[in-house]
Amino acid sequence: MNRYIIIFSFLLLSTIGLAQQKTRFIAPQLPQVNPKEAKAKDWGVLIQNMEAPIPGGNSYREFLLEKKEKISQKYPRHGMPMSSRDITLIDTIGVGMSFMTNIGGHGIPNDNSMAISNDGILISAFNSAIYIYDTEADTVMAEVSLDFFRDQLGLTAHSYDPKLVYDPDNDRFILAFLIGRLSTDSKIITCFSTTNNPMDPWNVYAVPGNPLNDTSWSDYPAIAITKSDLYITMNLLKENQPWQTAFKQTVIWQIEKESGYQGDTALTLDLFHEIKEGGIKIRNMHPVRGGFDIKGPNQYFLSNRNFADQSDTIYFIEVTDNLASGNAQVNVQLLSADQDYYLAPSAQQKEFTFQKFQTNDSRVLGGILENNRIEFVQNTLHPSTGNVAVFHGIIEDVNNPSIKSNFIFDDSLEYGYPNIAYAGSETNETKSIIGFNHTSYWHFPGHSAVYSDGSAYSEIKMVKRGEGVVSSQSGYNQRWGDYLGVQRRYNNPCELWMTGYFGDAGGDNKSWASQLYAPGDCFDKVDTLREFVNGNVFPNPTVDFAEIHFNLSADQNVIIDLVDNYGNLVKRLLQDDLKAGENRLTFSTRLLASGNYFIRIYNGKDRILTKKIVKR
């Protein structure tokens, strides 16, 4: 077997810092936004700069590309197998319902985030919109652009970087996204659903993106909740400066949730800033989310030396109480590893195409807390293979932290942009599912997952296989992330949902949602897994999109036509070389008038399949 997971340990250095400052702010309420109006008003216009960075530039990404080239030379890939072996995997993770979540458009990168309610309402966010889907009714509810939210608020600056969280205690959703990239227009738009139905109005507030009233703006949000508070971490950047001098500091916003749910005229929030260790400002602090349920009152964050070629440092940060207490402060501990994590190189695409994938830096991308135990994940290089891998860290006791960690890697596949969710069916278990993007010389980009029980790992499951090489930007550096969304469904402990990245047949990056089940008792009890049925179409009737499964007996060139009830061609959906076995086609039906249509699949000589589809 050419798949490995290596386990080693971290040691603790006893360094504690209390250097932060705390400033009280009031965020004004903005007009409510009603997603039900989006279908009538939302044009879903998306503009993207399609140019990739030019080597030799003075930007953050060019700096990383130079470092990645050097580390690739130091830890070269050890070559690919002589044969293009496919991966045969044990079904240790069950995959149920699945569908594409950015039918109408996509951002570059996807910036995947997601949340699912106890009623099975899933919201998937990507870098231009949110997609709302009722998993119980198997029905698309809406796709609403971030610009629709922005326009209803009377704002004009660019909107981007959405983040989602579901609050099971209050049965509500929270959405945060950014507007503007200048000190004068930067805002963190923070939205609270007024009911458990995200199609109802949302209460909206403007958190300042330039809270220190200088020349900085906010970027790179991450969010989490405790029993009483919402936390948002942000990087403050100085405007109109290259990345080497642009970074000012990472800050933590602490916000009372209840005020947002009730629609108070203003939010009370505290800003923790000047957070340092050893006189150095800590970058990219990522909040840790609750495992089986929502935790509190304390909130934990993790950071590292994400730009370093290799490092042994993890920063362990704690906000010690809730906002209402007035006593909250930030504690910082410096943890030191007995082995290093690494800056990941650019990832390879299929058959050594000239387009490579950017892996960003090594910042922490996800973490969960259960029974005073934290698990977290980040990008890394694996020094034995030279491939991009996942670094899985485990803090066994937050009160006396020491850390063990694992590399999740493969000798040919590259794994990046991980996230993690709790997978136990009861409290205080050491079970998790880690999702991550995959790519390789032999595989189009998609995403995978692995299950951990605290001492061992399952076989890695390919959740969504890619359909083509991503070439959505000019040049050779394509975006591969920047995030993956994963959450357990709180009232069904066996069920998790994940939204991840894949390359479609047209060269674009797309988002895909999947229902996952952990192995063991959960998997054995599942009776809702969607089995493959040749010719299965769902949802049918359809409103916004349709998906059809079909089987091919051999590799062949396939034509897929959509025709009306009289046999007239409405749209040639596909003409391409497809692989033998199960295939799945998804397409938008929004432009169709109500009525009956047929999907015809044939290979130029023989009819393979004809299926009826009803558009409401």
Predicted local confidence at residue 18, as pLDDT: 47
Q: What is the pLDDT of residues 18-33, one digit of tens each?
A: 457 999 999 999 999 9
Question: 337: helix, coil or strand?
Answer: strand
Tokens 């971030």, residue located: 146
In this structure, what token pair is assigned to residue 335?
């943890």
Tokens 């894949």, residue located: 502
Tokens 């047209």, residue located: 506
138: left (phi over 0), alpha (psi -120 to 50) or beta: left
Question: Which domains, from first to last, does the chain contain?
Answer: 3-39+73-525 (2.120.10), 537-615 (2.60.40.1930)
Cα 359 from Cα 384, distance rounded (Å):
18
H and E: helices and strands count for the chain: 6, 42
> With 0-12 CB in 10 A as exposed, 13-18 as middle and 19+ as buried, what is 185?
middle
377 in Cβ contact with 434 (< 8 Å):
yes
N- to C-terminal Cα separation, the chain? 50
Cα 270 from Cα 229, distance rounded (Å):
11
Tokens 């409103």, residue located: 543
Which is nearest to 535 in space by CA: 456, 454, 600, 450? 600
> With 0-12 CB in 10 A as exposed, 13-18 as middle and 19+ as buried, what is 14?
exposed
Predicted local confidence at residue 523, as pLDDT: 59
Cα 418 from Cα 424, distance rounded (Å):
19
Q: What is the pLDDT of residues 156-201, one digit of tens each?
A: 888 899 999 999 999 999 999 999 999 999 999 999 999 999 999 9
Residue type for 336, please?
S
DSSP string, 175-239: EEEEE-SSTTT-EEEEEEESSS-TTS-EEEEEEESSTTSSSEEEEEEEEEE-SSEEEEEEEEEET
256 in Cβ contact with 229 (< 8 Å):
yes
**pTM more than 0.95:** no
- Please give the distance of CA 73 from its chain centroid, rounded to a whole number: 30
Neighbours of 523 (CB within 10 A): 17
Helix (H) or strand (E) holding 62: helix 60-74
Which is nearest to 275 in space by CA: 267, 265, 285? 285
61 in Cβ contact with 236 (< 8 Å):
no
Q: Is the peptide bond before 242 cis (omega within 30 degrees of 0)?
A: no
HSE-CB at 494 with a 13 A cutoff on CA atoms is: 16
273 in Cβ contact with 24 (< 8 Å):
no
DSSP string, 507-557: S-EEEEEEEEE-TTHHHHH--------TT-EESSSBSSEEEEEEEESS-EE
**Helix/strand/coil (H/E/C) assignment for every residue in 103-146:** CCCCCCCCCCEEEECCCCEEEEEECCEEEEEECCCCEEEEEEEH
In the chain (616 residues long), the average pLDDT of successive 10-residue segments reads 39 43 94 82 40 43 68 69 35 80 71 95 90 87 88 89 97 96 94 97 96 93 97 93 79 97 95 94 96 96 93 95 96 90 92 82 96 96 92 94 91 94 93 95 92 88 90 81 92 90 85 88 51 68 78 86 87 81 77 88 84 86
Which is nearest to 176 in space by CA: 227, 215, 221, 111? 221
Q: What DSSP character marks residue 36?
A: G
